[in-house]
Amino acid sequence: MNYLFKNFFGNWYNHKNQVQEIEIATIKPKNFEDAQKIVDYLADKIPVVVSFDETDETHIKEILDFVHGKIFAAEGKMEQVGQKVFLFTPDYFEVENADEK
Protein backbone atom coordinates (compact mmCIF):
# COMPACT_ATOMS: atom_id res chain seq x y z
CA MET A 1 0.00 0.00 0.00
CA ASN A 2 1.34 3.44 -0.90
CA TYR A 3 0.89 6.33 1.46
CA LEU A 4 1.22 9.91 0.32
CA PHE A 5 2.65 12.76 2.33
CA LYS A 6 2.34 16.49 1.74
CA ASN A 7 5.45 18.59 2.27
CA PHE A 8 5.75 22.23 3.31
CA PHE A 9 5.46 23.40 -0.30
CA GLY A 10 2.26 21.47 -0.91
CA ASN A 11 3.81 18.72 -3.03
CA TRP A 12 2.67 15.15 -2.51
CA TYR A 13 5.29 12.43 -2.04
CA ASN A 14 5.07 8.69 -1.75
CA HIS A 15 7.05 6.56 0.70
CA LYS A 16 10.05 6.57 -1.69
CA ASN A 17 10.20 10.39 -1.58
CA GLN A 18 9.05 10.65 -5.20
CA VAL A 19 6.61 13.33 -6.31
CA GLN A 20 3.24 11.66 -6.73
CA GLU A 21 0.51 12.70 -9.13
CA ILE A 22 -2.94 12.53 -7.64
CA GLU A 23 -5.71 10.82 -9.60
CA ILE A 24 -9.23 12.15 -9.05
CA ALA A 25 -12.31 10.39 -10.41
CA THR A 26 -15.50 12.15 -11.53
CA ILE A 27 -18.93 10.54 -11.55
CA LYS A 28 -22.42 11.68 -12.54
CA PRO A 29 -24.61 9.01 -10.94
CA LYS A 30 -27.90 8.14 -12.60
CA ASN A 31 -29.28 5.88 -9.85
CA PHE A 32 -28.42 4.20 -6.55
CA GLU A 33 -26.41 1.44 -8.24
CA ASP A 34 -23.78 4.04 -9.18
CA ALA A 35 -23.05 4.60 -5.47
CA GLN A 36 -20.91 1.46 -5.44
CA LYS A 37 -18.60 3.00 -8.08
CA ILE A 38 -17.93 5.90 -5.72
CA VAL A 39 -17.15 3.54 -2.84
CA ASP A 40 -14.88 1.43 -5.06
CA TYR A 41 -12.77 4.45 -6.00
CA LEU A 42 -12.48 5.46 -2.34
CA ALA A 43 -11.46 1.91 -1.41
CA ASP A 44 -8.63 2.31 -3.93
CA LYS A 45 -7.69 5.62 -2.18
CA ILE A 46 -8.87 7.72 -5.15
CA PRO A 47 -10.78 10.95 -4.38
CA VAL A 48 -14.09 11.34 -6.21
CA VAL A 49 -15.94 14.43 -7.41
CA VAL A 50 -19.64 13.61 -7.74
CA SER A 51 -22.06 15.80 -9.67
CA PHE A 52 -25.72 15.16 -8.97
CA ASP A 53 -26.92 17.53 -11.72
CA GLU A 54 -28.37 14.63 -13.71
CA THR A 55 -29.52 12.54 -10.73
CA ASP A 56 -33.17 12.23 -9.71
CA GLU A 57 -33.79 13.94 -6.36
CA THR A 58 -35.01 10.68 -4.77
CA HIS A 59 -31.67 8.98 -5.46
CA ILE A 60 -29.42 11.81 -4.23
CA LYS A 61 -30.19 11.29 -0.53
CA GLU A 62 -29.88 7.49 -0.84
CA ILE A 63 -26.47 7.80 -2.51
CA LEU A 64 -25.22 10.40 -0.03
CA ASP A 65 -26.34 8.32 2.95
CA PHE A 66 -24.71 5.15 1.58
CA VAL A 67 -21.40 6.78 0.64
CA HIS A 68 -21.27 8.86 3.82
CA GLY A 69 -21.60 5.70 5.91
CA LYS A 70 -18.73 4.06 4.04
CA ILE A 71 -16.59 7.19 4.32
CA PHE A 72 -17.23 7.50 8.03
CA ALA A 73 -16.12 3.91 8.58
CA ALA A 74 -12.94 4.50 6.55
CA GLU A 75 -12.21 7.88 8.20
CA GLY A 76 -12.58 9.70 4.88
CA LYS A 77 -14.27 13.03 4.30
CA MET A 78 -17.22 14.45 2.40
CA GLU A 79 -17.42 18.09 1.38
CA GLN A 80 -20.05 19.91 -0.63
CA VAL A 81 -18.22 22.06 -3.18
CA GLY A 82 -21.16 23.21 -5.30
CA GLN A 83 -24.94 23.24 -5.37
CA LYS A 84 -25.15 19.57 -6.33
CA VAL A 85 -21.44 18.73 -6.35
CA PHE A 86 -19.62 16.80 -3.62
CA LEU A 87 -16.00 15.83 -3.06
CA PHE A 88 -15.44 12.48 -1.35
CA THR A 89 -11.89 11.87 -0.17
CA PRO A 90 -9.98 8.99 1.42
CA ASP A 91 -8.37 9.38 4.83
CA TYR A 92 -4.98 10.68 3.63
CA PHE A 93 -6.35 13.45 1.42
CA GLU A 94 -6.37 17.09 2.53
CA VAL A 95 -8.58 19.79 1.01
CA GLU A 96 -7.74 23.43 1.49
CA ASN A 97 -10.51 25.99 1.19
CA ALA A 98 -9.07 28.93 -0.78
CA ASP A 99 -11.88 31.18 0.50
CA GLU A 100 -10.57 30.80 4.06
CA LYS A 101 -7.02 31.85 3.21
CA 57, 58, 59, 62: dihedral to nearest 10 degrees? Answer: 120
Is the residue at 64 inside a domain?
yes
Domain that holds residue 87: 22-92
Task: Report pLDDT for 98.
Answer: 56
Q: Which helix (H) or strand (E) holds 63?
A: helix 57-73
Name the domain count of the chain: 1
Is the residue at 50 inside a domain?
yes
Task: Report pLDDT for 2.
Answer: 46
Per residue in 31-41, pLDDT (tens digit) is 999 999 999 99
Per residue in 32-83, pLDDT (tens digit) is 999 999 999 999 888 999 999 999 999 999 999 999 998 887 788 898 989 9
